[in-house]
């Protein structure tokens, strides 16, 4: 029995021969697996001298997440994905702490993944370090996610059709609120005009308790005519009507009851996708035509997203030596209306979750979006100071997004001679987006006019990439071979945008610039950039055990000053398969060691080396110009990063266990920073080259096959990573950079906190309220301490079960939701002392803390204590519970450690059962003629969460702008191949 890792074992009868020559066949999986690297060059895995990791695309095909990118979560050590919860809120990626380049079929693209069909993805490989990406120039300096789309795989004609629908099934994280008290303040409320013209009807949810028999005048209470005794059904205020006369009309009190408004508002959502493909492969070449259509309906009413596309890919052998690969794809991303997010009255969560008491009858808000007789002119609502009727805002304001994307690509490859090829490639990506916003009259958005509005945005983006590449590979002897790639490329990008806006609408519901009552305002923008590059790589293979690769690239960028526009990226990597020349313990099948070093640079945005006045609006027909706050630097140099990485790749116990370890160190130097300067200089910052950041990271990928049996197998992959970035040099040897001090973590979390005594007691003022510290304090760090991904795959006969779990540990996260819930009175804990205080008619809550009885604290400008003569006494003063709740957990940072109940800064740690799928292969069971494959999948996405933070979903990435509830999806899919 002769076996060798990466090769299929072979039994050869020896029969006494002294010399046996055996040719082992390469196994389908294993070490000679090729890896797609930069510029689409493929390399055997063993020759790679830097960390790369493949994603499991099976999961991506089986599960229909809101965005393909969501499914990258937890798949790759070092790749962190934030998954916002709202419709059309795209995931964001951080690879070793930086934002990676996305490459599809060899071409760097700008994509939010809504225009990428999951079913077209053949494989995804992540190049983690800078070495791998040195060949993409500055765009690839942060690593790259390389996506290769599917080609015809099998000879002959193949047709496949698949469909998958996922439906919302409850919430994985749903924000809990108090459900005992409604709108108002200090326990009182009465509606009149919704802006404090009644009793505290302008703001806050600190009103009366929901109790049987409580009757209150509300926004939907009927109007009583004191003179005629008649009652008139009414919704909203009475502004501008005959009823706006309190001496004659009043609102008849109606029952004060709780409504489960958020749950009622959030409907059922679904994501449904259909794909087909036709492919053919023959000696002359191959083609694949695929199409997809996906329809997402959000849980927020009147909002959805439709995406679809057609892709044609072909490979044609023009002659024996000449091959033409071409690709043409068209994608559309269309939303007739998608929800507004962010902290403000456009966002449904801002209204329902934070600022609308549950006394408001949501059903009636929905049925009566306008005041009787004022359809189109005035919304009916419970508030007219700060908030919109949430159904009016969701249904009557519409914003459209309509994007067309065309991607055309051609690659001509010429095999000139044995080992020598020449290829030329061109690609163009065109994106055209139309967006508009139709705002009805009285729609309220702070700072905007309330007379109705229509805005349009037209934007266009064109990117063109050309490159030529020549490759030569030769074996000098049996043991020594080399390959050379040399090429040149040019990248051009153009972006333009036009914007137009009305100033109020004449007639309601007519959303046209022609319907403006004032002047139309418009702006446009145009931007171009280009980068020219040359590059080369050299690979040397020695004794099939040592592999050396060196690469060099030079870029010339249009955005930098002429003298600094040229920059050079060298890189070198070495890998060696130790197990090929050193006898290893029996359990160790394979051991590869590798190391690499690379330097990458980057440039600026266009037009950043001179200062320009910008238009800041108009006053009375006079244009206003303003000068930027930042000083430019016409001598700015490209920034650079030096990275160094070592690692090992190993396999044990007949490949049952694989372990990859990587350590990396990245030193970012000569960074292009906006150095803060005293704004008394007339500028807030200036562009300089400076600061140094050092990142140290460690990544582990463990793959195990604990059970391998004929009928049952279990495969598990665990990814673990940790990285810390510190500021290790500050410009001009300054002692601070913003809040950061030398050797601070770059993600240090400084925040305004409450003053504490030397013992850490909270200091309270004479009024019993806490006092803010004038110096920001370091609370911890933002980024997680480590991240983990766990992919399990079980196979039992025809059934495959995939389970994806991931999470992060440590790091801090501020919660705006929690802060605002305390302020507004929706926080679940905010009910605690309300009844007692209202019953006593005076404050009963005595906060824990101390008063300064004498002495004072003197600090220098660095916050260092010069003298502290303070004496303290325990606080005994009771304060209004509402005032306290609106101050302590809202107006400064309170960590979990400081106070569990009032915390607004949380530990980020969470783990999620992100994906689960059961796939059953029905091909044999169904046994339909012509059907080569038939499988059915039950799947789930975002199923369960364990977290340390209260109320919010940390997987969102942050909570600075509120979050939609985190939806759980369950679905079914079918996949047929003919």
Partner 1 sequence: MKKIAILFSLTVLMVLTGCQDLTDLNENPNNVSQTHPQLLLTNIASNAFSVDGTSSLYATRILVQTDGENNNQYYSWDRASFDNYNMLGEVTKMMQEAERIESNEYIALAKFFRAYYFYNLTLTFGDVPYSEALMGEIEEKYLPKYDTQKELFVGILKELAEANDLLEGNITIIAGDIIYGGETGKWQKLVNSFRLKVLMTLSKKEGDADLNIKSAFANIFNNQPIMESNEDNGQLVFLDEEGSRYSEFNSSSYGSGMYMSSTFIERLQDRQDPRLFIYSGQTKNAKEAGLAIDDFTAYEGGDPLAPYAEVNDKAAAGDVSKVNLRYTTDPTTEPHNLMGYWELQFILSEASVRGWITTNAKEHYENGVKSSFSFYNDFAKNYESYVEPADADAYLLGTKVAFDNALSTEVKLELILTQKYLTSFLQSGWRSYFDHLRTGYPAFSQLPGATPPTRWMYPNSEYLNNTENVSAAIERQFGAGNDKIREIPWWLN
Among 134, 199, 300, 551, binds partner 1 (CB under 8 A): 199
Among 293, 334, 343, 775, binds partner 1 (CB under 8 A): 775
Query: Is 625 an interacting residue with respect to partner 1 (CB under 8 A)?
Result: yes
Q: What is the DSSP letter of 555?
A: E
Q: How far is the CB of 507 from partner 1 (least distance, A)?
A: 18
508-527 binders of partner 1 (CB under 8 A) = 518-519, 521, 524-527
Q: Alpha helix locations (H) across 647-766?
A: none
Q: How far is the CB of 550 from partner 1 (least distance, A)?
A: 24
Q: How far is the CB of 254 from partner 1 (least distance, A)?
A: 19
Q: How far is the CB of 360 from partner 1 (least distance, A)?
A: 16
Q: How many CA atoms lie within 13 A of 786 on its CB side?
A: 11
CA 569 to chain centre: 29
Among 153, 363, 474, 772, binds partner 1 (CB under 8 A): 772
846-885 binders of partner 1 (CB under 8 A) = 858-862, 866-867, 879-880, 882-883
491-510 binders of partner 1 (CB under 8 A) = 492, 501, 503
The two tokens of residue 291 are 């199409």
Query: Is 904 an interacting residue with respect to partner 1 (CB under 8 A)?
Result: no
Query: Is 195 an interacting residue with respect to partner 1 (CB under 8 A)?
Result: yes
Q: How far is the CB of 862 from partner 1 (least distance, A)?
A: 7
Q: 817 CB contacts (<8 Å, ≥6 apart)?
A: 175, 353, 354, 951, 952, 959, 962, 963
740-769 binders of partner 1 (CB under 8 A) = 765, 767, 769
Among 70, 83, 168, 186, binds partner 1 (CB under 8 A): 186
Instruction: Measure Cα distances from 945 to 790, 903, 952, 968 in Å.
Output: 14, 20, 11, 10
Give the Cα separation of 369 and 397 in Å (integer).
12
Query: Is 786 an interacting residue with respect to partner 1 (CB under 8 A)?
Result: no
Query: Is 267 an interacting residue with respect to partner 1 (CB under 8 A)?
Result: no
Q: How far is the CB of 627 from partner 1 (least distance, A)?
A: 5
Please name which of 483, 90, 554 lies closest in space to residue 81, comparing C-alpha atoms.
90
Among 341, 441, 529, 851, binds partner 1 (CB under 8 A): 529
Q: What is the DSSP letter of 943?
A: E
Query: Is 618 an interacting residue with respect to partner 1 (CB under 8 A)?
Result: yes
Task: Tell me whether residue 91 or residue 847 sits nearer to partner 1 (CB atom).
Answer: 847
Interface segment toward partner 1; rule CB under 8 A; list 77-85, 272-280, 734-742, 794-802: 734-742
Task: Tell me whether residue 99 or residue 679 sits nearer to partner 1 (CB atom).
Answer: 679
Give the Cα separation of 886 and 901 in Å (integer).
14
Among 12, 122, 215, 322, binds partner 1 (CB under 8 A): 322
CA 788 to chain centre: 17
Q: How far is the CB of 36 from partner 1 (least distance, A)?
A: 23
**Other Cβ atoms closer than 10 A to 560:** 25
Q: How far is the CB of 521 from partner 1 (least distance, A)?
A: 6
Query: Is 559 an interacting residue with respect to partner 1 (CB under 8 A)?
Result: yes
Q: Give one DSSP letter per residue of 666-693, joined into a string.
A: EEEESEEEEEE--GGGT-SEEEEEE-EE
Task: Tell me whether residue 42 or residue 610 sits nearer to partner 1 (CB atom).
Answer: 610
Task: Tell me whether residue 700 or residue 878 sits nearer to partner 1 (CB atom).
Answer: 878
Q: How many CA atoms lie within 13 A of 122 on its CB side?
A: 14
Q: Tell me the chain's radius of gyration from C-alpha atoms.
A: 32
Task: Tell me whether residue 189 or residue 652 sits nearer to partner 1 (CB atom).
Answer: 189
Give the Cα separation of 549 and 538 in Å (integer).
6
Query: Is 226 an interacting residue with respect to partner 1 (CB under 8 A)?
Result: no
Q: How far is the CB of 859 from partner 1 (least distance, A)?
A: 6
Query: Is 452 an interacting residue with respect to partner 1 (CB under 8 A)?
Result: no
End-to-end CA distance of the chain: 40
Q: Which residues pair with 494 in a beta bridge?
A: 462, 528
Please name which of 132, 139, 136 lies closest in space to residue 645, comparing C-alpha atoms.
132
Among 32, 254, 515, 611, binds partner 1 (CB under 8 A): 611
Q: What is the DSSP letter of 352?
A: I
Task: Tell me whether residue 768 or residue 957 sits nearer to partner 1 (CB atom).
Answer: 768
The two tokens of residue 727 are 């500021």
Task: Tell me whether residue 123 or residue 734 sits nearer to partner 1 (CB atom).
Answer: 734
Give the Cα separation of 181 and 173 in Å (integer).
23
Among 736, 743, 869, 932, binds partner 1 (CB under 8 A): 736
Binding string, residues 33-52; x marks residues near partner 1 by CB under 8 A: --------------------
Q: How far is the CB of 288 from partner 1 (least distance, A)?
A: 24
Q: 687 CB contacts (<8 Å, ≥6 apart)?
A: 608, 630, 631, 632, 633, 636, 672, 673, 674, 675
630-649 binders of partner 1 (CB under 8 A) = 631
Query: Is 607 an interacting residue with respect to partner 1 (CB under 8 A)?
Result: yes
Give the Cα separation of 703 and 718 in Å (integer).
6
Q: How far is the CB of 439 from partner 1 (least distance, A)?
A: 13
Q: How far is the CB of 640 from partner 1 (least distance, A)?
A: 20
CB 23 within 8 A of CB 94: no
Interface segment toward partner 1; rule CB under 8 A; list 61-69, 691-699, 770-778, 965-973: 770-778
Give the Cα separation of 905 and 813 in Å (integer).
6
Query: Is 626 an interacting residue with respect to partner 1 (CB under 8 A)?
Result: yes
Give the Cα separation of 845 and 835 in Å (integer).
11
Q: Is 918 exposed, middle or buried (0-12, 13-18, 19+ CB in 10 A)?
A: middle
Among 209, 366, 565, 948, binds partner 1 (CB under 8 A): 565
DSSP E strands in 476-519: the ranges are 480-501
CB 341 within 8 A of CB 961: yes
CB 805 within 8 A of CB 912: yes
Give the Cα separation of 363 and 540 in Å (integer).
72
What are the backbone dihedrals phi and psi of residue 403, each rounded to the nearest 5 degrees, phi first? -115, 135
Sign of CA dihedral 808, 809, 810, 813: positive
Query: Is 616 an interacting residue with respect to partner 1 (CB under 8 A)?
Result: yes
Q: How far is the CB of 604 from partner 1 (least distance, A)?
A: 9
- Number of shown-chain residues binding partner 1 (CB under 8 A): 119
Query: Is 377 an interacting residue with respect to partner 1 (CB under 8 A)?
Result: no
Q: How far is the CB of 528 from partner 1 (least distance, A)?
A: 5
Instruction: Measure Cα distances from 102 to 95, 142, 148, 603 in Å.
Output: 11, 10, 11, 18
Q: How far is the CB of 864 from partner 1 (least distance, A)?
A: 9
Binding string, residues 667-706; x marks residues near partner 1 by CB under 8 A: ---------xxxxxxxxx-x--------------------
DSSP E strands in 884-961: the ranges are 905-907, 910-921, 933-947
Among 33, 196, 544, 832, binds partner 1 (CB under 8 A): 196
Among 310, 530, 572, 659, binds partner 1 (CB under 8 A): 530
Could you give the 3-state DSSP secondary structure of residue 38?
helix
Task: Tell me whether residue 263 or residue 891 sits nearer to partner 1 (CB atom).
Answer: 891
Among 21, 514, 583, 774, binds partner 1 (CB under 8 A): 774
Task: Tell me whether residue 530 or residue 974 sits nearer to partner 1 (CB atom).
Answer: 530
Cα dihedral 676→678→682→685 (10° resolution): 0
Among 489, 791, 915, 961, binds partner 1 (CB under 8 A): 489
Q: How many CA atoms lie within 13 A of 182 on its CB side?
A: 29
Interface segment toward partner 1; rule CB under 8 A; list 254-262, 303-311, 537-545, 556-564: 556-564
Q: How far is the CB of 574 from partner 1 (least distance, A)?
A: 32
């Amino acid at each position: 029995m002769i076996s060798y890792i990466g090769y299929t074992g072979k039994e050869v009868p020896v029969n006494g021969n002294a010399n046996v020559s055996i040719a082992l066949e390469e196994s389908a999986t294993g070490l000679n697996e090729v890896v797609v690297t930069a510029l689409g060059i493929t390399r055997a895995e063993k020759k790679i001298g830097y960390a790369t990791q493949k994603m499991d695309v099976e999961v991506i095909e089986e599960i229909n997440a809101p965005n393909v990118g969501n499914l990258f979560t937890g798949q790759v050590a070092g790749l962190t994905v934030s998954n916002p919860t709202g419709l059309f809120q795209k995931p964001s990626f951080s690879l070793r702490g930086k934002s990676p380049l996305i490459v599809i079929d060899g071409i760097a693209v700008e994509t939010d993944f809504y225009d990428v069909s999951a079913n077209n993805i053949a494989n995804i490989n992540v190049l983690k370090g800078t070495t791998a990406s040195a060949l993409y120039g500055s765009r690839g300096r942060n690593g790259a996610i390389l996506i290769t789309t599917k080609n015809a795989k099998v000879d002959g004609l193949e047709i496949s059709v698949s469909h998958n629908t996922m439906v919302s099934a409850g919430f994985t994280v749903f924000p809990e609120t108090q459900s005992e008290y409604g709108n108002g303040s200090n326990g009182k409320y009465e509606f009149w005009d919704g802006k404090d013209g009644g009793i505290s009807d302008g703001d806050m949810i600190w009103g009366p308790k929901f109790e049987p028999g409580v009757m209150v005048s509300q926004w939907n209470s009927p109007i009583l005519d004191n003179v005629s005794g008649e009652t008139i059904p009414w919704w909203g205020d009475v502004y501008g009507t005959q009823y706006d006369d309190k001496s004659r009309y009043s609102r008849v009190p109606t029952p004060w009851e709780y409504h489960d408004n958020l749950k009622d508002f959030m409907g059922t959502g679904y994501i449904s996708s259909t794909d087909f493909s036709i492919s053919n492969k023959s000696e002359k070449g191959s083609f694949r035509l695929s199409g997809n259509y996906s329809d997402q309906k959000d849980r927020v009413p009147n909002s959805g997203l439709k995406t679809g596309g057609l892709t044609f890919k072909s490979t044609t052998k023009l002659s024996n030596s000449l091959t033409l690969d071409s690709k043409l794809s068209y994608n559309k991303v269309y939303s007739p209306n998608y929800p507004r997010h962010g902290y403000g009255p456009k966002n449904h969560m801002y209204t329902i979750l934070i600022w609308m008491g549950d006394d408001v009858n949501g059903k009636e808000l929905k049925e009566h979006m306008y005041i009787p007789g004022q359809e189109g002119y005035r919304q009916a609502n419970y508030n007219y100071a700060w908030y919109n009727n949430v159904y009016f805002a969701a249904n009557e304001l519409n914003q459209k997004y309509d994007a067309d994307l065309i991607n055309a690509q051609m690659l001509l490859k010429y095999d000139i001679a044995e080992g020598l090829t020449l290829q030329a490639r061109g690609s163009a990506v065109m994106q055209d987006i139309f967006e508009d916003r139709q705002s009805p009259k009285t729609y309220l958005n702070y700072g905007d006019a309330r007379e109705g509005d229509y805005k349009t945005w037209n934007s266009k983006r064109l990117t063109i990439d050309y490159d030529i590449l020549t490759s030569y590979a030769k074996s000098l002897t049996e043991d020594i071979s080399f390959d050379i790639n040399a090429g040149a490329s040019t990248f051009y990008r153009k972006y333009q945008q036009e914007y137009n806006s009305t100033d109020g609408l004449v007639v309601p519901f007519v959303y046209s610039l022609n319907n403006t009552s004032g002047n139309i305002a418009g702006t446009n923008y145009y931007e171009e950039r280009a980068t020219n590059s040359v590059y080369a790589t050299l690979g040397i293979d020695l004794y099939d055990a040592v592999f050396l690769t060196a690469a060099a690239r030079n870029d010339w960028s249009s955005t930098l000053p002429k003298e600094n526009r040229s920059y050079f990226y060298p890189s070198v990597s070495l890998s060696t398969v130790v197990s090929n020349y050193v006898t290893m313990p029996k359990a160790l099948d394979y051991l590869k060691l590798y190391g690499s070093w690379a330097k990458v640079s980057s440039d600026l945005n266009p037009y950043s080396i001179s200062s320009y006045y910008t238009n800041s609006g108009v006053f009375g027909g006079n244009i206003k110009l303003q000068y930027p706050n930042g000083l430019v630097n016409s001598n700015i140099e490209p920034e650079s990063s030096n990275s160094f990485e070592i690692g090992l790749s190993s396999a044990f116990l007949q490949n049952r266990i694989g372990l990859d370890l990587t350590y990396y160190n990245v030193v970012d130097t000569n960074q292009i920073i906006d150095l803060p300067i005293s704004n008394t200089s007339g500028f807030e910052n200036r562009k300089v080259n400076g600061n140094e950041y050092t990142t140290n990271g460690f990544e582990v990928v463990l793959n195990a096959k604990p059970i391998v049996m004929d009928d049952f197998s279990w495969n598990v992959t665990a990814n673990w990573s940790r990285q810390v970035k510190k500021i290790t040099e500050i410009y001009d040897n300054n002692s601070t950079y913003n809040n950061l001090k030398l050797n601070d973590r770059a993600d240090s979390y400084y925040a305004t906190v409450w003053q504490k005594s030397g013992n850490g007691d909270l200091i309270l003022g004479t009024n019993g309220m806490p006092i803010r510290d004038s110096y920001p304090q370091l609370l911890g760090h933002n980024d997680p301490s480590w991240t983990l991904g766990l992919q399990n795959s079980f196979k039992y006969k025809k059934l495959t079960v995939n389970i994806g779990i991931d999470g992060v540990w440590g790091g801090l996260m501020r919660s705006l939701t929690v802060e605002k819930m305390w302020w507004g009175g929706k926080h679940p804990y905010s009910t605690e002392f309300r009844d007692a205080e209202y019953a006593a008619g005076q404050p009963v809550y005595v906060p824990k803390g101390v008063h300064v009885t004498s002495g004072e604290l003197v600090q220098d400008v660095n916050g260092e204590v010069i003298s502290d003569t303070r004496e303290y006494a325990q606080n005994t003063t009771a304060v209004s519970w509402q005032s306290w709740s609106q101050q302590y957990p809202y107006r400064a940072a309170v960590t979990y450690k400081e106070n569990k109940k009032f915390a607004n800064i949380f530990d980020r740690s969470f783990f999620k059962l992100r994906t689960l799928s059961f796939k059953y292969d029905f091909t044999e069971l169904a046994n339909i003629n012509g059907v080569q494959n038939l499988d059915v999948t039950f799947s789930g996405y975002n199923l369960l969460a364990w977290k340390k933070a209260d109320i919010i979903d940390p997987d969102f990435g942050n909570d600075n702008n509120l979050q939609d509830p985190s939806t759980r999806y369950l679905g079914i899919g079918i996949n047929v191949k003919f």
